[in-house]
């Protein structure tokens, strides 16, 4: 059986993270990707990434309609490595934190938690309010990993794409998927004159 990873892209700002994750997974060829794109994400892909949402969907192996609660990823009997929601809006975070599964993205996340699989949420909001923090605590207590896109400057990024690659690499690390998206810290470099 092929390993599968569910990727959710919600309507938060910064769909570039989800796109970069899909591009990296396609290039690596390590897992079969099952994509769910919310209606809000389709709009932010157009507005912020200036890409056609259907072109982005073509990066995945399988695309599921966000309204289809009968899709394979809505069932725990469909084996996966887990799920990454990249980016994860505060609305989607709230739905996951409270088990409000009115669409496939939140249902697939709920299934991931109940099956004790890895759920990684790349939450995208600032500043954070108390409700956001409580929802992050709730999903963490339920077994999810909250992984906001916080840049690591030890990688010496030169471009925005470098910053995005760092976050995408951190997501892949959570699933044990090998990559070379950023330079790993091995200690301070010694510079010779």
170 marked as part of a ligand binding site: yes
154 marked as part of a ligand binding site: yes
Which CATH number fits the domain that encloses residue 142? 3.40.50.1950
89 marked as part of a ligand binding site: yes
106 marked as part of a ligand binding site: no
129 marked as part of a ligand binding site: no
27 marked as part of a ligand binding site: no
CA distance 21 to 74: 21
Does the residue 192 lie in any domain? no
Does the residue 128 lie in any domain? yes
Query: What is the number of domains present in the chain?
Result: 1
CA distance 116 to 133: 22
Q: Which residues contact 159 (CB under 8 A, 6 or more apart)?
A: none
Domain of residue 113: give its range.
Answer: 4-175
Does the residue 188 lie in any domain? no
CA distance 3 to 13: 29
pTM of the model: 0.95
77 marked as part of a ligand binding site: no
Local confidence pLDDT in tens for the 193 residues of the chain: 579 999 999 999 999 999 999 999 999 999 999 999 999 999 999 999 999 999 999 999 999 999 999 999 999 999 999 999 999 999 999 999 999 999 999 999 999 999 999 999 999 999 999 999 999 999 999 999 999 999 999 999 999 999 999 999 999 999 999 999 999 998 887 654 4
């Amino acid at each position: 059986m092929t390993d599968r990873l569910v990727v959710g892209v919600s309507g938060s700002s910064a769909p570039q993270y989800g796109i970069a994750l899909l591009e990296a997974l396609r290039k690596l060829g390590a897992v079969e990707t099952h994509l769910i794109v919310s209606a809000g994400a389709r709009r932010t892909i157009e507005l912020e990434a200036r890409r056609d949402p259907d072109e982005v969907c073509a990066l995945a192996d399988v695309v599921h309609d966000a309204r289809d609660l009968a899709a394979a990823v809505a069932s725990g009997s469909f084996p996966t490595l887990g799920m990454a929601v990249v980016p994860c809006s505060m609305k989607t975070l709230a739905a996951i934190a409270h088990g409000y599964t009115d669409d496939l993205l939140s249902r697939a996340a709920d299934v991931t938690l109940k099956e004790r699989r890895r759920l990684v949420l790349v939450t995208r909001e600032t500043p954070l309010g108390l409700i956001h923090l409580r929802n992050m605590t709730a999903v963490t207590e339920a077994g999810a990993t909250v992984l906001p896109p916080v840049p690591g400057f030890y990688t010496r990024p030169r471009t925005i794409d470098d910053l995005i690659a760092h976050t995408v690499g951190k997501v892949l690390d959570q699933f044990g998927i090998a990559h070379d998206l950023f330079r790993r810290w091995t200690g301070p470099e010694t510079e010779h004159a």
